[in-house]
Amino acid sequence: MASQTILVTGAAGFLGSHLCDALFAEGNSVIGVDNFSTGNRDNVAHLASQSRFKLVEHDITRPFDPGKVDYVFNLASPASPIDYSRLGVETLMVGSAGTVNMLDLARKYNAGFLHASTSECYGDPEVHPQVETYWGNVNPIGPRSVYDEAKRFSEAAAMAYHRYYGVNTHLVRIFNTYGPRLQPNDGRVISNFMIQALRGEPLTIYGDGSQTRSFCYVSDLIEGILRLSRSDEHLPVNIGNPNEFTILECAHEVLVATGSKSELIFKPLPQDDPTRRRPDITRARAVLSWEPSINLRQGLEKSLAYFKACTNGSSKH
């Protein structure tokens, strides 16, 4: 593909920074935007001196126009329960006003647009595994609603801009993803377990550990996002690893990967925490010829050096 000018919001975040790397490696010019409410400059520091990369500090809930761009990847949002519980109103605003601002930008320049949505759109699902045609089981006023409903609104906005204005929009529903640059203190299961195991602390299990998740390694996810952005598919597409693990099984995998002898402790399950989560990736396989290639044990081994750095203080997160 010819070199393009690509805007990535949430560029200093976990997924945004990996996406910037992939786009930059292809020869594109990348404009990264982040307000650093949860993003980390260190995640893109290695790109800072490159002439084809520009990092702009800005909150996309306010209009922003960097000039003509060919594509907009909208990844800006707090994404972990700890962050969106702390930044509830900000999460609602970036998923509503922020998304609309970026759609307006894509419309102005006839640019492609991909929005990073989430498996949280399914809530605590009554359909398993989750297919894109399932409308979900979301508590619209619960403690997680600021994130869930912001993402659901973003999907509606993207589809409206496609239907009414002809914007070339794409929607990826991201399932649990992990890997280097995942915030070590963000409250998500992989980061919690890895840090606790490497410190020799007990692994904290919420509930009885029978609830399930499906964990996708970051490079697999980024490949899926790139394929979707270049496809003709405008409806939501699940991108995630369909291999389902109970939280107890995940804890065991982390203990194996780290060699830790940590014990397990159990605490109450948070309100509205989904009991089962597994993507049906039939659409991704059919439309994108995509499926993940890295299993959980391999991904944990690839992540080990990063989490070790986090625990010994060499990481600036």
Q: How many whole angstroms separate alpha carbon 224 and alpha carbon 69?
A: 22
Model confidence at 1, in pLDDT bands (50, 70, 90)?
Answer: low
DSSP-assigned letters across all residues of 20-78: HHHHHHTT-EEEEEE--SS--GGGGGGGTT-TTEEEEE--TTS----S--SEEEE--S-
Which range has the worst mean pLDDT, 164-178, 179-193, 236-250?
179-193
**The pLDDT of residue 314 is above 60:** no
Q: Does domain 5-177+216-239 have CATH number 3.30.390.50?
A: no
Angle between helices 296-312 and 189-199 (to 10 degrees): 60
Question: So what's the pLDDT on residue 89?
Answer: 97
Q: How many whole angstroms separate alpha carbon 59 and alpha carbon 57?
A: 7
Q: How many whole angstroms separate alpha carbon 77 and alpha carbon 67?
A: 23
Model confidence at 275, in pLDDT bands (50, 70, 90)?
Answer: confident
**The pLDDT of residue 316 is above 70:** no
- From start to end of 160-275, where are the E strands? 169-174, 177-178, 203-206, 212-214, 216-217, 237-239, 244-246, 264-267
Q: Which of 109, 147, 178, 217 is catalytic?
A: 147
Q: Which amino acid is at 18?
A: H
Within the chain, all domains assigned CATH 3.40.50.720 are found at: 5-177+216-239
Arithmetic mean of pLDDT, 93-112: 98
Question: So what's the pLDDT on residue 32?
Answer: 98
Arithmetic mean of pLDDT, 254-270: 94
Pairing of strands 5-9, 29-34: parallel
**The pLDDT of residue 301 is above 50:** yes
Quote the mean pLDDT of the chain.
95
Question: So what's the pLDDT on residue 186?
Answer: 83
Query: Could you tell me the two tokens for 68?
Result: 């003509």
Arithmetic mean of pLDDT, 201-213: 94
Q: Spell out a b/e string for 187-226, using b for 16 or more CB atoms within 10 Å of the CB, else e.
A: ebbbbbbbbbbbeeeebebeeebebbbbbbbbbbbbbbbb
Q: How many whole angstroms separate alpha carbon 170 and alpha carbon 153?
A: 14
| Known catalytic membership, residue 164 | no
**The pLDDT of residue 182 is above 60:** yes
Could you count the other beta carbons within 10 Å of the beta carbon of residue 275? 12
Which range has the worst mean pLDDT, 33-37, 100-104, 270-274?
270-274
Within the chain, all domains assigned CATH 3.90.25.10 are found at: 178-213+243-276+294-312
Q: How many whole angstroms separate alpha carbon 66 and alpha carbon 51?
A: 16
Q: How many whole angstroms separate alpha carbon 304 and alpha carbon 191?
A: 11
Q: How many whole angstroms separate alpha carbon 135 and alpha carbon 278?
A: 15
pLDDT digit string, tens, across residues 111-156: 999 999 999 999 999 999 999 999 999 999 999 999 999 999 999 9
Right CATH for 178-213+243-276+294-312 from 3.90.230.10, 3.40.50.2300, 3.90.25.10, 3.20.20.210? 3.90.25.10
Pairing of strands 244-246, 212-214: antiparallel
Question: So what's the pLDDT on residue 315?
Answer: 44
Arithmetic mean of pLDDT, 63-68: 96
Q: How many whole angstroms separate alpha carbon 229 and alpha carbon 182?
A: 23
Q: How many whole angstroms separate alpha carbon 311 and alpha carbon 304?
A: 11
Could you count the other beta carbons within 10 Å of the beta carbon of residue 75? 26
pLDDT digit string, tens, across residues 282-299: 999 999 999 999 999 999
